[in-house]
Amino acid sequence: VEHVSIAIDGPAGAGKSTVARIVAKRLGLLYVDTGAMYRSVAWLAVRFGVRPSDELGLTRLLDEYLLGFERDPALGTLVVRFQNQDITPELRSPEVSGIVSQLSVHPLVRERLTSIQRSLRRDTGVVMDGRDIGTVVMPDADVKVFLTASLDERARRRAEEITAAQGREVSEVSIRKSMAERDARDSSRDVAPLRPAADAYILDSTGKSIDEVVDEILRLVRESV
Ligand code: C5P
């Protein structure tokens, strides 16, 4: 399975990054989390007080502060650095999650990040997850998966994840609300909206375990290469 490229798209909290990371590890491919890139722009916006509606201000930030996207060899995930500081843990904060879909509508922001994403697609092969990977970033990917789950299940999983990671209880209701808002904004934008590619395999993970979803994707890869 050398040089194989796998695109995994879908709404928030469908389990894309968990599944993509495992698939990449099993197949020895690079894993690229494109959501982390959009989140790092949101992080910069918060840090420097640039409004999410200010497209030019945001692109100026991106040009001025070169963010480092590196692969953590142990975890296999993307580490984002800002001036030698690892900001990865801060990318999942409610503050960042709350504005990221507002700034990902901007064509100039998407243009810059899309070109970084394409450059990460090396000769080693890649598993990339996001919203527009199968439609825009890698329209020629060997395998395209559109991973979904019911909104209730996605909110429940995300709440469990936050509780496990931070040891604090979070309101599932507020998570569900912000997820639904984000999905609506991601699906309705003009540029690169969230939608399955015409040739994507729709995988509904509601009621399925991580292992079952991973196995289903590995089967698709075997069938297609
Ligand atoms: O995948 P994650 O939930 O971390 O993505 C955060 C946000 O980044 C999404 O809600 C979306 O607004 C944006 N995004 C995007 N295109 C991608 C990946 C993420 O617009 N390929």
User: Residue 66 Cα, ligand 1 centroid: separation in angstroms?
Assistant: 19
| pLDDT tens-digit map of 184-199 | 999 999 999 999 999 9
Q: What is the 3-state secondary structure (H, E, C) of 108-142?
A: HHHHHHHHHHHHCCCCCCEEEEECCHHHHHCCCCC
Q: What is the pLDDT of residue 169?
A: 85
Residue 77: exposed, middle, or buried by beta-carbon count in 10 A (0-12, 13-18, 19+)?
Answer: middle
Residue 106 CB–ligand 1 contact under 6 Å: no
Residue closest by Cα to atom 19 of ligand 1: 35
Q: What is the pLDDT of residue 129?
A: 97
User: Residue 97 Cα, ligand 1 centroid: separation in angstroms?
Assistant: 9
| CA 7 distance to own-chain centroid | 11
Q: What is the mean pLDDT of residues 61-81?
A: 82
Q: What is the pLDDT of residue 54?
A: 98
**ipTM rounded to 2 decimals:** 0.99
Q: Which residue has the higher pLDDT, 206 or 162?
A: 206
Q: Is the pLDDT of residue 69 over 90?
A: no
CA distance readout (Å), 127 to 10, 13, 116, 136: 14, 17, 15, 15
DSSP string, 134-200: IIII-TT-SEEEEEE--HHHHHHHHHHHHHHHH-----HHHHHHHHHHHHHHHHH-SSS-S---TTP
Distance CA(93)–CA(99), nearest Å, equals 10
pLDDT band at 1 (very low <50, low <70, confident <90, very high): low
Residue 130 CB–ligand 1 contact under 6 Å: yes
pLDDT band at 106 (very low <50, low <70, confident <90, very high): very high
Residue 43 CB–ligand 1 contact under 6 Å: no
